Structure 1
């Protein structure tokens, strides 16, 4: 999921060819104050254009309480992107207020709410946030802001952030909300980026937010099932089906139960979805 400054016309054009699953056209941090009105118009035009293929096209607006929030929300709701990404969502009441505003402003049904969870309060109330509305479909981790709020350091392995990441992940799974890992700041540190992608995948994140087009291919590889994982999943499903519902079967010397089959079927579904986009 690639962030792009909506004020950068060249970036918006290039995004039409990138193999990203989703684009987050940014009106917030990546846009200077005097450029925000023009960026808003450009993002809304992009959302209406239909030029981005099967990529999910979302727009990140400025946070509630800023001078741009109300105008952003009104314009973006009318434009009808796939989702509106809202920073600093830290309570169920905030979600309900946003959804009510979107509905009042005429946001179409397909326009969902993606909530950025990036504060200690959001981590501690993540389950309530995720359960507040069916229109909220995705958590986006704001790890830079979370580290700032915690007075934590950015270190390899992200130990200072793991509690917050885990709380958000638990809440996402408990409420059926997708969840995207935060960004990796050093675009020149390929090894560090790949390590963080692996960690995010191993923790259970559904994908990663990115700040540079050069990170897209590596993130796709990191979050896609490997050939070995796909082969193993097929073997598990085939062994289970051959067992004709015995309850427990073995595959390559391993005990296989229904829960293992569920995991294998998810791996195969993900592989098929990725293959269909190639």
Structure 2
């Protein structure tokens, strides 16, 4: 079985909403971010912290990747959030506005001091100009760092940019984060699409994200899950093509140039095909659980 972890659809759920946490058990997303930050009012944060930690530790979400987003560095809730999240042992703790390797080191120290198990990774949100410009150093700063999560709404705000179809104002930042993430070997997850009623625009942005190389997309509504799952999964045609390409390469090994459907096949093409099959197999395993 593949050890690839699908992250096509990463759904934010407010930690303060008990009904939403229960509903999430049946939503077919690949991952959940149980949120203690933006979606939770200040007076509800302690209760949300307790509820999210209990949910993450419950085992009620099957094979989904369950994470907790804590309040940001420097806020009054941050260290208590980190402690509770670490002790709950989710797949990852998501931290907003991470901007330096030094912050990553401090976050890792806090997680380990609170007893976070080895499987609990750190997901750093990239959502400021400083984070984008220092993305490679951040991505390489700790073995516990498992993913970048793009905070595109904050990036638009910080850049004085605008939300437009095609995201031209954000493309340099998105590419930079992707380059850094791939260089460091971590997952990179695209930002949210804000208009939950605009299905066409959402699917177009999913397609753009997939073409760029993102592992998946963060979502703000369960209605976006199916579109993200479909878009970020290899199509049947892509899976068939990958199998055929690998078979042709294996059959032609040692005979010089190998071609498949008129295309020259090299090791790099085989690696891409194997990755396609790994994603396909991991999705099938997740869907079957």
User: 2:214 matched to which residue of 1?
Assistant: 205
Unaligned runs of at least 5 residues, structure 2: 1-9
User: 2:133 matched to which residue of 1?
Assistant: 124
Separation (CA, whole Å) in 2 of partners of 1:68 and 1:203 = 35
User: 2:262 matched to which residue of 1?
Assistant: 253
Separation (CA, whole Å) in 1 of partners of 2:180 and 2:20 = 34
Q: Structure 2 vs 1, CA of residues 16 and 245 (structure 1 numbering), >3 Å: closer, same or farther?
A: farther
How far apart are 1:277 and its partner, in Å?
2.1
Does residue 24 in structure 1 map to residue 33 in structure 2? yes
Separation (CA, whole Å) in 1 of partners of 2:204 and 2:222 = 18
Partner of 2:32: helix, strand, or coil? strand
Q: Write the deviation string for residues 212-257 of structure 1: whole angstroms up to 9, x where unpaired.
A: 0010011000000111111111111111011024453111111111
User: 2:197 matched to which residue of 1?
Assistant: 188
Separation (CA, whole Å) in 2 of partners of 1:101 and 1:51 = 26
CA contact (8 A) 1:90 1:122 kept: yes
Tell me the TM-score normalized by structure 1: 0.98
How far apart are 1:182 and its partner, in Å?
0.3
Task: Write out aligned runs for 1:93-132 (5 A).
Answer: 93-132=102-141
How far apart are 1:210 and its partner, in Å?
0.4
CA contact (8 A) 1:247 1:257 kept: no
Q: Structure 2 vs 1, CA of residues 115 and 250 (structure 1 numbering), >3 Å: closer, same or farther?
A: same
Partner of 1:31: helix, strand, or coil? coil
User: 1:87 matched to which residue of 2?
Assistant: 96
CA contact (8 A) 1:247 1:258 kept: no
Structure 1, 147-156 or 236-245: larger mean CA deviation:
236-245
Does residue 266 in structure 1 map to residue 249 in structure 2? no
How far apart are 1:275 and its partner, in Å?
1.4
Partner of 1:209: helix, strand, or coil? strand
User: 1:147 matched to which residue of 2?
Assistant: 156
Moved over 6 A (4+): none
Separation (CA, whole Å) in 2 of partners of 1:129 and 1:2 = 24
User: 1:33 matched to which residue of 2?
Assistant: 42
- Note the aligned Cα RMSD (angstroms): 0.9
Q: Write the deviation string for residues 95-147 of structure 1: whole angstroms up to 9, x where unpaired.
A: 00100111111111111100001011001100100111000011000000001
Partner of 2:219: helix, strand, or coil? coil
Q: Write the deviation string for residues 172-222 of structure 1: whole angstroms up to 9, x where unpaired.
A: 010011100000000000000000000000000011100000100110000
CA contact (8 A) 1:59 1:81 kept: yes
Separation (CA, whole Å) in 1 of partners of 2:168 and 2:254 = 42
User: 1:170 matched to which residue of 2?
Assistant: 179
| Count of residue pairs brought into register by the alignment | 278
User: 1:77 matched to which residue of 2?
Assistant: 86
Separation (CA, whole Å) in 1 of partners of 2:88 and 2:25 = 18
Unaligned runs of at least 5 residues, structure 1: none
User: 2:21 matched to which residue of 1?
Assistant: 12
Separation (CA, whole Å) in 2 of partners of 1:246 and 1:9 = 62
